[in-house]
Amino acid sequence: MTETPAALNDDDFMKALLDLVIPPSAGALPGAGALGLSSSVAKALQADPDLGPLVEAGAQAVREAASSQHPEGLQGMAPEAGAKVLEAQLATHPLLIMGISRYLFPAYYQHPQVLEGIGEPSRPPFPKGFGVEPTDEELLEKLQERRKKA
């Protein structure tokens, strides 16, 4: 008998869950589950003493509810059906989506495929950086004068 991993460590389940939080858009952007972010999101949540246990409990409830409705669980369900299962658990696990989003959104929007999809260069902003307009010296002088008067 094999032991079932914790919901956050169940990669197939997490991919399906992350795709419900950030679903694929019409050809432009992939869903979060397709980008291989489940492991890093799970690790971050497990290291969070406040949100981690709450998200784990909520994810476990979603996994159990999905398994009771489909033999393959959440990953075998149509997105609409999976979303209904997820929504049904939010009343008893209200921090589930917020907790996942706390770590998912930064990872998702830093992924090269997503950056390319939203028209940003697929590179970190540093060391190449972004253009910054030169400082208006007159405005700076006004601020310095105001500070001297205070």
pLDDT tens for 84-100 read 999 999 999 999 999 99
Contact status, residue 18 vs residue 99, Cβ threshold 8 Å: no
For residue 46, is it within any domain? yes
Total domains in the chain come to 1
For residue 93, is it within any domain? yes
For residue 40, is it within any domain? yes
53-109 pLDDT tens trace: 999 999 999 999 999 999 999 999 999 999 999 999 999 999 999 999 999 999 999
What span, in angstroms and rounded, lies between the C-alpha atoms of 18 and 30?
A: 11
For residue 51, is it within any domain? yes
Q: Which residue has the higher pLDDT, 122 or 74?
A: 74
pLDDT at residue 121 tops 90 = no
| Residue 108: other Cβ atoms inside 10 A | 21
